[in-house]
Every structure is written in structure tokens, then in C-alpha cells.
Chains A and B, each alone.
Chain A
Amino acid sequence: MDNPTREINVREYARLARISPATASKNLHSFAKEGILKKRQERMLILYKANLDHDFYQDVKVFYNIRKIKDSGLLEALNSFYLKPTVVLFGSASFGLDIETSDFDILIVSERTQDFPDKVKFEHKIKRPLQLFIVKGIKEVRNEKLRNNIVNGTVIQGKIQWS
């Protein structure tokens, strides 16, 4: 999930998942058969990587991204600084289409619009750059493309209100 474009072989997966190579092979083969993983052979090695276009993968990735934000303590820190703002994850991470180098685009709606002081700390924790858009209301977002991206995102906390 953290490295969706990286290819992995059976032995490596077995070591990471702490399972036997036989079980690893069976699991990877089964995921590839369902289309969740893409499979290719290079000489003697069979390599697998995430199939970013697969519906199931995308759903799980969205869940993973939201949990990552919550488990990192970012939401609590935002609550403390912005007083329980509305928080929306949007862009590629909200569709499960993000890769290793993608930003996490997050809209914060609060009366307080100062920059988040712990941004860098959480970028290290989440291992992703954070793009924080801090506004008092969604109407403040003038760029139509950005606004459409936001309304198609995932509300993690609170709700977006036009009025």
C-alpha cells in the first residue's frame, strides 16, 4: 500500500509478511488471478505489483489512506490547532490512485487559517508530502477545478457546507 508501483517477488513477500514461501506464492497467485495484482515474469522470477486500476485495490487503498491519517495522530493535532475543523481528503489519495510520490491533499475548514505548525512532523510520520488548504468556507476556494476536486473528495470529519 505504501509502495504501490514497487514490484515484489514471492520470497520477498514471504519475508515481509512472515509467512512461508509456499503460502506467499499461493496468496500472490490468488490476488493476481482476481486482478488485484499485476504479474510478470523476468527470467526465473515472477514479480507482482498492485493493479492501480482495480476497483477492490482502490477501495482498500482509500481505507488505508484514511486510517493512515487517523492513526498518525494528524486528525487529533488538527483538532487541537483548528478546533475540530471539517477535514476533507481529496485528489488521488481520496480515490486510492496515489503512488509513493503523491501528495496527500487535505482541505481544512476553520475560522483559524494560520499554517499548521506541525506539518513537517506529520509529513515524516505519514511519509508523504501534505498539501493543506486552509479556508474559512468552501466558497473561499475560487479555483473551479480545485473546488470540484474537493467536493469529490472524502470527508474525514465534519461536513462541507456551501452556505
Chain B
Amino acid sequence: MELKDCLHKGLIKKTRKDMDLAHSLVEMANIKETAVTKAVIDEVTVSAYVSLAYDALREVLEALCITQGYKVLSHVCIGELLKDIFDDFDYEEFDRLRWIRNSINYYGEKVEFKQGMEIIQKTLAMKKKIITHYFKKKY
């Protein structure tokens, strides 16, 4: 789906730049990250934690969209919008993580333990990079 389709379908809505909401979303994302990093992850649970780590990342990206004055209702459209706003946004990496999360959540795919742990690390590293790179406020 392209950005124009996201706008046309109403999946991206113009809204006010709500910094308090953005702040709350980042805080919630950090709580989810803590839940992942403190968990004892094994072969059985790793897929669920990959999905949770992705949620933490997506919430930070949603917060970023809100700081730009957009409410985005679709994961694909988050990527499309941020790619359009920020030239240096790593769209491919985010889109891959979204694809993996969808495979887990919607198609019941299971991630191998070692790969899952590396994906979690990559996801949380991207979240950290987004916060340090794009947010003025330090979290």
C-alpha cells in the first residue's frame, strides 16, 4: 500500500501534535520493552516476545507520527508515512519486522529460538535508535 492509498482510505488522519499522548505512548513502549528484557525467554515463548518487542517499537513509531500531527491506524501506513517524512527512516528494517510479527500473530508461524532472540535485539535497537534520533525529549 502506498502513502496516497493510506490517506485515501482514511488510515492516516491529520490531528493535532499531542506531545502528552506521544509521551504516554513512549512510556508504555518502554514498559513493554522492560517486560521483554526481564522475561525468561525459551524456545516456546520466543515468538510471543518477538511480537511484544515489535509492539514496543510500533508504539514509539506511533508516538513519532503523533509528534508530526498524524494518527495512523495501520502498521503498513506508519512505515509509509515515516518514510515520506524522514529521509533517513529505515523503512525496510521496520517493514521486515512488521512482516515477521504478522507471520506470528496472523499465520501462527513460530520463530526459532536463536533467530528470535536476535530479532528481539534488532527490534529493541531500532526502538532505541528512533527515540534518540527523532525525539527531542530524553526517555
Contacts and interface: CB of A to CB of B under 8 A. Distances in A.
Interface in A74-114: 79-80, 83-84, 86, 110-112
A6 interface: no
Interface of B: 92, 96, 99-100, 103, 109, 111-112, 114-115, 118-119, 122
Contacts of B112: 112
Contacts of B111: 83
B106 to A, nearest CB: 14
B115 A83 contact: yes
Nearest to B103: A83
Contacts of B103: 83
Query: Interface SS of chain B: helix, strand, loop or mixed?
Result: helix
Contacts of B99: 79, 83-84
A159 interface: yes
26 contacts: A79-B99, A80-B109, A83-B96, A83-B99, A83-B100, A83-B103, A83-B111, A83-B115, A83-B119, A84-B96, A84-B99, A84-B100, A86-B92, A110-B115, A111-B114, A111-B115, A111-B118, A111-B119, A111-B122, A112-B112, A112-B114, A112-B115, A136-B118, A158-B92, A158-B96, A159-B92
A112 B99 CA distance: 16
A115 to B, nearest CB: 14
A152 B103 CA distance: 31
A159 B20 CA distance: 35
Name the 5 nearest CB pairs between A and B, nearest first. Answer: A111-B118, A111-B115, A112-B115, A84-B99, A159-B92
